[in-house]
Chains A and B, each alone.
Chain A
Amino acid sequence: MREMAYWQALNEALQEEMDRDPNVFLIGEDIGIYGGAYGVTRGLLDKYGPGRVMDTAISESAITGAAIGAAMMGKRPVAEVMYVDFMGQAMDQLCNQAAKIRYMFGGKFKVPMVLRTEGGAGRTLGEHHSQSLEHWFTGIPGLKVVMPSTPADAKGLLKASVRDDNPVVFIEHKMLYKEKGLVPDGEYIVPLGVADIKREGKDVTIASYSRTVLFALEAAKELEAEGIDAEIVDIRTLIPLDIETVVKSITKTNHVVIAHEACKTGGFGGEIGMQIIERAFDYLDAPIKRVGAVDVPIPKSPVLEQYVIPTTEDIVQAVHEALG
């Protein structure tokens, strides 16, 4: 095991996959000399050259579409869209083309591509650089959606995504890039569609993903001092969703809180909650509690931004409510 930052784990995953498979290439804005807006591709232009680290114009739709076309021809592109907020520019290519090409063409083509992007608040960047929009993609059959919370998951899930034969939307969190953690040595793959218990507990299940998992872990510490033993389920891949791991946890704890940074209304927590009701209603001793952002755009002011997104205290309070 080595300690490394989330961005380094992603960078290492890209290098390992590019070394392993000559069909893997990178395409996006400012990924070359600049090294990516958050530094994930730094050093890769020097190592692999402009033929495999392809800097583009500001053209999110063409970046996504070019990745699709190359993937249909047998390449394994990893496209980068700098902010998930910019995905509005690429939604047709991703959701109408990438997601549907295999299906509408009767399985005759496949689209093995990764679209890396990042989201989330925390840097007071305002309404167009701070959103959590994963629910835009989770409702589109044909896409997979991945949101890692730790350096180890970032590495293992990115490697699995590159090797997956389907379009994968891989959403990083801007506040996680500098977070450090232990990453296993050697070839390390985390399969898509498998949730992870980040903390075992017996009193309440907290289902979460991405940066909010870190808040959930902090909340668990505070709760521990009160004698409440929380189990943290990191969803990790929203699509395909490993609801079984969540259900299994609930059969033990009989209480559940779902926490994410996306706005509460329409956020993916609603889907997780409904699947819990469908599968584990009889195990619940209390209503499901949801923690999400206030239903407003993410405002600039640091005070407002912090107020809007869920925090450790919000999760602690939700657990108290769930446990009555």
Chain B
Amino acid sequence: MEKIDVTKEEAVKLLKQMYEIRFFENKIMDLLAQNIIDGGSHLYAGEEAVAVGSCAAIRPDDWIASTHRGHGHAIAKGGKIPELMAEIFGKSTGCCKGKGGSLHLADPQTRNLGATGIVGANIPVATGAALSLKMDKKDNVVLCYFGDGAINQGVFHESLNMAAVWKLPVVFICENNLYGMSGAVSRVTSTTKLYTRSCAYGIHGEVVDGMDVLAVREAVKRAAERARRGEGPTLLECRTYRYYGHSRSDPRAYRTKEEEKEWQGKDPILKFRNKIVPAGIISEEKCNKIESEARQEIEDAVKFAMESPWPDPKEVTEDLYA
């Protein structure tokens, strides 16, 4: 049997967070379908192992920089789920007072530098945050998430070059879910081995199974250690899959049902359960309990968001300038 390098306590947290993200995203889809909430939402279901595994590999005082598909990052970094849900509703109790919404979850308390609606735009910002850490001689790191689409943006090149030149403590995590909206990596990108772009910057590059939470955790631990040692950035490609479309209005004509089914067969939550239960780390019953608790937690978050007040229009000009 495969050796599983995870304690019971760690396993509980990993499984709990993956379920929280899965149910959070499934619930958002329901709420959108019922028109209870509106606006856009780019859902993270299917990719849970990347956010959860990577955040488990760093310390609470380390930082992350998130993307338009950022709910999972915010939860994995320890964001308060009711406040995240309320933000997506646009309520005043949201983590950004209802001003940002799904695309802009941020929280300095959990050291989440925030999500951006512009693909790749968090990459230079994360680079600057890492620059600040280096200037202050701190041993913290920044995890910078982005999708396969972002690596064709100019800021990817500018920022990786800058981070490499200055050996900044940042881990660039490419969540390769095979499509930038409808643009298949194989069709729009010069290589399907995205991690090999690290060669252009003389930095370490690696690919990892993004459906395997423990594999992600190990790879990010290694990358974070390199960063803390002053060895500079890593480009880590996590191969993963988003179960839903790009956004609510996406009919997914660019991919097949067979492909979706194949990837659902690699489900990160089931894969993890199928490792830890036979290894005797957590019992089947305990897993079921974690699952139902997470489900309830999301229900409670929705209730909190529904009952929360709308922002007062009088507050609309607040927080523009410091």
Binding site for B on A (CB under 8 A): 25, 51, 56-57, 59, 61-62, 64-75, 77, 92-93, 96-97, 101-110, 112, 141-142, 144, 165-166
Closest 3 CB pairs of A and B: A65-B124, A69-B128, A107-B319
Q: Is the CB of A61 within 8 A of B130?
A: no
Q: Which residue of B65, B117, B121, B130 has the most chain A CB atoms within 10 A of its CB atom? A: B121
User: Could you tell me if B320 and A68 are in contact, using CB atoms closer than 8 angstroms?
Assistant: no
Q: Are A104 and B124 in contact (CB under 8 A)?
A: no
Contact B126 A69 (CB under 8 A): yes
Residues of B within 8 Å of A51, CB to CB, are: 135
Residue on A with the closest CB to B142? A69
Q: B127 contacts which of A65, A77, A144 (Cβ < 8 Å)?
A: A65
Tell whether, in the assembled complex, residue B154 and residue A65 are in contact, meaning their CB atoms are under 8 Å apart: no
Q: Are the C-beta atoms of B162 and A57 separated by less than 8 Å?
A: yes
Q: Are A74 and B162 in contact (CB-based, < 8 A)?
A: no
Given A69-B132, A96-B116; A56-B162 close (CB under 8 Å)? yes
How long is the Cα–Cα vector from A65 to B127 in the complex, in angstroms?
8
Chain B residues positioned under 8 Å from A93 (CB to CB): 121, 124-125, 155
Contacts A70-B129, A73-B132, A75-B132; is A105 near B124 (CB within 8 Å)?
no
CB distance from A104 to the nearest CB of B (A): 4
A69 touches B129 (CB 8 A): yes
Known A70-B128, A70-B131, A108-B108; contact A62-B319, beta-carbon cutoff 8 A: no
Is the Cβ of B161 less than 8 Å from the Cβ of A73? no
28 A-B residue pairs with CB within 8 Å: A57-B161, A66-B124, A66-B125, A66-B131, A66-B159, A67-B128, A68-B125, A69-B113, A70-B128, A70-B135, A72-B128, A73-B129, A73-B132, A73-B133, A92-B118, A102-B321, A102-B322, A103-B320, A105-B100, A106-B95, A106-B96, A106-B97, A106-B100, A107-B318, A107-B322, A109-B113, A141-B320, A166-B321
B-side contacts of A141, CB under 8 Å: 320
With A62-B162, A69-B129, A97-B125 as given contacts, are A105 and B135 in contact (CB-CB < 8 Å)? no
Chain B, Cβ-Cβ closest to A143: B321
Pair A104/B104 contact, Cβ less than 8 Å: yes
Q: Which residues of B contact A (CB under 8 A)?
A: 65, 94-100, 104, 106-108, 113-114, 116-118, 121, 123-133, 135, 154-155, 158-159, 161-162, 165, 318-322
Question: A58 to B216, alpha carbons, bound, how many Å?
Answer: 34
| CB <8 Å contact, A61 and B124 | yes
In the complex, which residue of chain B has the Cβ closest to the Cβ of A64? B124
Q: How far is the CA of A262 from the CA of B116 in the complex (A)?
A: 32
User: Contacts A101-B114, A107-B97 known; A68 to B124 CB distance under 8 Å?
Assistant: yes
In contact, A109 and B114 (Cβ under 8 angstroms)? yes
A103 CB contacts on chain B under 8 angstroms? 99, 319-320
* Docked complex Cα distance between A166 and B319 (Å): 11
Contact residue among A25, A62, A166 (Cβ-Cβ distance under 8 Å from B322): A166
Contact A105 B104 (CB under 8 A): yes
Q: Which residues on A sit within 8 Å (CB–CB) of B128? A: 65-73, 77
Q: Is the CB of A69 within 8 A of B130?
A: yes
* Chain A residues within an 8 Å CB radius of B135: 25, 51, 70, 75
Q: Give the distance in Å from the alpha carbon of A103 to the alpha carbon of B123 in the complex.
A: 20
Given known pairs A75-B132, A75-B135, the reply for A65 and B318 (CB within 8 Å) is no
Is the beta-carbon distance between B100 and A62 smaller than 8 angstroms? Answer: no
In Å, the complex CA distance between A102 and B308 comes to 23
B250 CB to closest chain A CB, in angstroms? 23
Query: Does A61 lie within 8 Å of B154, measured CB to CB?
Result: yes
Instruction: Give the distance in Å from the alpha carbon of A243 to the alpha carbon of B229 in the complex.
Output: 54
The complex places the Cα of A239 from the Cα of B320 at a distance, in Å, of 13
Q: Do residues A142 and B321 form an inter-chain contact, with CB atoms below 8 A?
A: yes
Residues in chain B near residue A112, CB distance under 8 A: 322
Report the separation of the CA atoms of residues A165 and B322 in the bound assembly, to the nearest whole angstrom. Answer: 6
* A72–B320 CB distance below 8 A: no
Candidate in B123, B132, B318 with the most chain A CB atoms within 10 angstroms? B132
A105 B106 Cβ-Cβ under 8 A: yes
Q: A111's closest neighbor in chain B, by CB?
A: B322
The answer for the CA separation of A68 and B291 in the assembled complex, in Å, is: 39
18 further A-B contacts with Cβ under 8 Å, apart from A25-B135, A65-B123, are A57-B162, A59-B158, A59-B162, A61-B154, A62-B155, A62-B159, A65-B121, A65-B128, A69-B113, A72-B128, A73-B132, A74-B132, A92-B155, A97-B116, A102-B321, A102-B322, A103-B320, A107-B322
Closest CB in chain A relative to B190 CB, distance in Å: 20
User: Are B161 and A59 within 8 A (Cβ)?
Assistant: yes
A92–B155 Cα distance when bound, in Å, is: 10
Please, which residue of chain A has its CB at the minimum distance from the CB of B95?
A106
**A105: B residues at CB distance < 8 A:** 96, 99-100, 104, 106, 114
Check A65/B94 contact, CB under 8 A, given A57-B161, A70-B128, A75-B135.
no
